[in-house]
Amino acid sequence: MNDVARFHRILLAAAALLLLCGCINESREATLHSGLVTGYVLSAPACPVERVGQDCPPRPVSGAAVVALAGDAVRGSTLTDTAGAFSLTLADGRYVIKASNVGGYASTASKLVVISDQPVHITLIVDSGIR
């Protein structure tokens, strides 16, 4: 076999290998769907004394730690912005989204979510410690 024929065979084998690897990656990526969970972390009560007719809505928690747990494993984490908003992109599955209050009073709030085709939006309300 001459050098040109050998080169063409090697080139053909390399192209076939690249094509095969591309197909494997494509089918693997198709099965690994991810979804979005967004929400807010709020703190309540927000006023030391609530009076009839006076609104005292929960307040946003800036810098709250938000984690996505699958069992005991952390699968994603972020901090809330100044409006208390957060966003996490997660693989399809069931997660407990847990938020921890920042500042003087340590408290947490959590919610079970299922990530699939539809985005999920939740609000977590942590205890402010005001009594």
Segment-wise mean pLDDT, segments of 10 residues, the chain, 131 residues: 57 53 47 86 86 84 96 96 97 96 87 93 92 71
Write phi, then psi, for 21 (nearest 5 degrees). Answer: -65, -40
Q: Which pLDDT does position 30 carry in this prediction?
A: 45
| Integer angstrom CA distances of residue 60 from 2, 39, 81, 107, 128 | 75, 11, 9, 14, 11
- Per-residue pLDDT at 102: 85
Look up the pTM and report it.
0.72
